[in-house]
Structure formats: structure tokens, C-alpha cells
């Protein structure tokens, strides 16, 4: 039987240092009979030599468009904008199944090229839970960024460029130092606190020294009454960690912020969920994704009111690139081992069925039928 081929593409998104495959998981796949091609990539946290040492075949940076079309291409973030048809099978986060900005044009590329998309966000187990997610590290890093922004704002400044940390301990120590040695006295609200992302945010707040009573943990029970929520205005940092699957009442509104005037305590919103272009975004007080180089965007809260900033970075886990990649890739491994049987293995069959449904919607929206 011929080996299963798999091609790890480089990531082209600025500051993105994570990888869908790590040397650890690549070796396990190779031991199971896979042949792994890895694009050379100086941006990735893992050196090319680490992949070569476990038996991967190194290929030129960003050369996947010329790879044989029978080799599945795996990556993390979305591909660069283009109209070029996509003839390959792609395994990635495409951010187009929930009708985000440009969703139909992204899927149209697969239609034109007769390629297939297996969206990593929608690979699920028997219970409907995602088989692999960056949620914990997204929440952990988002809470850290929020605390850093809060510290900067207290000093009358905007948060400067964020750089990835070598490990979790280094991140925790840096945040504590920015807050003067401890987070004690800071109050935070996490919505979605019972999920992977929310648990990560709560963990960071505990590790930087917030008192347990100052970490307000909300989930579906607390938000069932419907927003907007006054409670969000009464903390220093609000971290949104929900998974948005349907329209819900807004958590926070511009009108609410302006009406609060000087009585508002809230200084930083961290939208880890980052549904910025989703028409049902429950935090409609900002309209752009922020970046590592400019991590915050100010909110119009009315004249002479205390400042409020939003962090809406859509790849926060890359602040801890090695740990986040290892955890994600390890969780994805059992499904990848089923890739040779993707026409019968449930996780891949379900993912392809969803792709075909979304593709049909995009074809109609683009007038391609």
C-alpha cells in the first residue's frame, strides 16, 4: 500500500509562528506510514532542522501551489486573498462557514479548482465537540494581552507591539511585572468561562494574582437573561470567549458605554472569539481586527469619558506558539491518522459533507451555478 502523503505549508500571516504539524506529531505520522513534506519557513517556531531530523522532506517556502494535486495541504490560517482556483484538498481554518466577510469568494476558489476544504474548526467527534482547538491558549493569551493593555492604559499609554513568549512562565512573569508585580486589585469578567477558551482566561488571571472573587465567571446560565449587561461595565477587563453559533442579544453596545459616562470601570475588552465581521457579533463597539503590531483599537465612548480599548486579534495563541502548536497538533493526531480512510472515517466524511453544503450556498451567492 502506498504511503499517505501530507504537505505542511508555511504560514503567511504576519507574526504567525504556530504550525498545524510539529516535529513530534510528524514523527508519529511517519511511523504510521505517512510521507510528510514540510515547507521551509523561518517564521515558524519550529526550525526546519527539527522536521528534517524526524524524517520529513523539506521543500521550498510557499511552494504548495505547484505540489501534485493528490497531496492534501495542511496549514492553520487562511490563505492569502486571491481568485486563483484551488485544486488541492486543504485542511485549515478557512473562516468562511459562518458567512464572514468574503466567505463566498473563498469557497468559489474551491468550486473553480474542484478542490476540497476540510475546515479544522468543524472537525468534530461523535458528540459534536471539536477534535482539536486552540481555545485554551487563545483564552490564556487573550487574558494576558488584556492585562497588559489595562496596565498600559493606567499609565496613559496604548499597548505596544506584542511579541511571542518563549513559554507560559515567561508570559505570566511579564504580565505581573507590567501590573507592578501582581494582578491583585484588578477585576475581570470572562463570558464563556466553562469552555476551553474561558478556562484558559481564568487560569491566566489566577496565575497573575487576581483574587478569586475578582474573576467573575459567566457562561450560558448567566447570559440567558439577555444583554446588554451592566456587569461588564463594572470590571476592568472583559474577555469574550463564547462560541457564536446563532444570533444572540448584544453583550455590550456603544450607546450603553456612552450613557455610562464617567461611572464606567471597564477599560479593556478582549474579544477572543473575534467574530468581528460576523453580522451577529455580540460586541458591536468595534469593526476591525487588531494585530500584534497594533493590538488595540479605541472605542468611541463620548467626549471626556475614560478611555476604552478593544483587542480583537484572531490568532492570539501564537503568543505561545510552541506550546499551543504541540497541544493542538497532538489533539488533531488521531484524526490525521484516519486521513487515508477519509472516504469512510466519520470525522472526515462529516467534514466533507459540511463543505459540500457550504459550497452550494457559495455557488448560489456568487452566481456560478
Strand order in the sheet with 188-191: 215-218, 188-191, 237-240, 268-271, 309-311, 297-298
Beta bridge partners of 35: 5
Candidates 77, 207, 250, 358; catalytic one = 77
Buried b (16+ CB within 10 A) or exposed e, 94-118: bbbbebbeebbebbbbbbeeebbbb
Task: Give catalytic status of residue 95 as yes or no.
Answer: yes
Instruction: Compute the C-alpha angle 236/304/297, nearest 5°.
Output: 55
SS (H, E, C) 282-306: CCCCCCCCCCCCCCCEECCCCCCCC
DSSP conformation class of 124: B
DSSP state of 5: E
Q: Which one from 13, 28, 90, 95 is the annotated catalytic residue?
A: 95
Q: Decide: helix, strand or coil at residue 170.
A: helix
Instruction: Report strand pairing: 73-74 vs 89-92.
Output: parallel
Question: So which residues are the catalytic ones?
Answer: 77, 95
Amino acid at each position: 500500500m502506498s504511503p499517505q502523503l501530507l504537505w505542511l505549508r508555511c504560514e503567511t500571516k504576519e507574526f504567525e509562528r504556530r504550525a498545524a504539524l510539529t516535529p513530534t506529531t510528524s514523527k508519529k505520522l511517519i511511523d504510521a506510514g505517512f510521507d510528510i513534506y514540510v515547507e521551509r519557513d523561518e517564521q515558524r517556531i519550529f526550525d526546519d532542522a527539527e522536521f528534517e531530523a524526524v524524517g520529513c522532506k523539506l521543500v521550498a517556502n510557499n511552494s504548495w501551489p505547484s505540489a501534485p494535486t493528490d497531496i492534501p495541504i495542511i496549514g492553520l490560517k487562511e490563505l492569502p486573498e486571491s481568485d486563483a482556483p484551488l485544486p488541492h484538498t486543504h485542511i485549515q481554518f478557512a473562516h468562511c462557514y459562518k458567512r464572514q466577510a468574503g466567505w463566498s469568494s473563498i469557497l468559489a476558489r474551491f468550486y473553480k479548482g474542484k478542490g476540497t476544504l476540510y475546515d479544522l474548526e468543524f472537525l468534530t467527534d461523535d458528540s459534536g465537540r471539536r477534535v482539536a482547538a486552540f481555545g485554551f491558549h487563545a483564552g490564556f493569551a487573550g487574558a494576558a494581552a488584556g492585562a497588559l493593555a489595562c496596565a498600559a492604559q493606567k499609565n496613559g499609554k496604548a499597548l505596544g507591539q506584542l511579541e511571542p513568549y518563549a513559554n507560559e512562565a515567561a508570559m505570566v512573569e511579564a504580565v505581573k511585572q507590567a501590573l507592578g508585580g501582581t494582578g491583585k486589585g484588578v477585576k475581570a469578567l470572562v463570558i464563556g468561562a466553562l469552555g476551553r477558551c474561558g478556562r484558559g482566561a481564568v487560569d491566566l488571571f489566577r496565575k497573575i494574582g487576581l483574587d478569586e472573587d475578582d474573576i467573575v465567571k459567566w457562561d450560558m446560565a448567566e447570559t440567558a437573561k439577555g444583554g446588554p449587561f451592566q456587569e461588564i461595565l463594572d470590571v476592568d477587563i472583559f474577555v469574550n470567549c463564547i462560541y457564536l453559533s446563532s444570533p444572540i442579544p448584544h453583550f455590550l453596545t456603544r450607546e450603553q458605554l456612552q450613557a455610562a459616562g464617567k461611572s464606567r470601570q471597564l477599560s479593556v475588552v478582549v474579544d477572543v472569539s473575534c467574530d468581528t465581521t460576523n453580522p451577529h457579533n455580540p460586541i458591536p463597539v468595534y469593526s476591525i481586527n487588531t494585530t500584534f503590531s497594533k493590538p488595540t483599537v479605541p472605542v468611541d465612548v463620548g467626549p471626556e469619558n475614560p478611555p476604552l480599548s478593544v483587542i480583537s486579534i484572531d490568532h492570539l495563541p501564537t503568543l505561545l506558539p510552541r506550546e499551543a502548536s504541540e497541544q493542538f497538533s497532538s489533539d488533531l493526531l488521531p484524526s490525521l491518522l484516519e486521513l487515508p480512510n477519509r472516504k469512510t472515517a466519520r470525522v472526515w466524511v462529516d467534514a466533507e459533507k459540511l463543505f459540500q453544503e457550504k459550497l452550494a450556498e457559495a455557488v448560489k451567492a456568487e452566481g456560478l451555478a
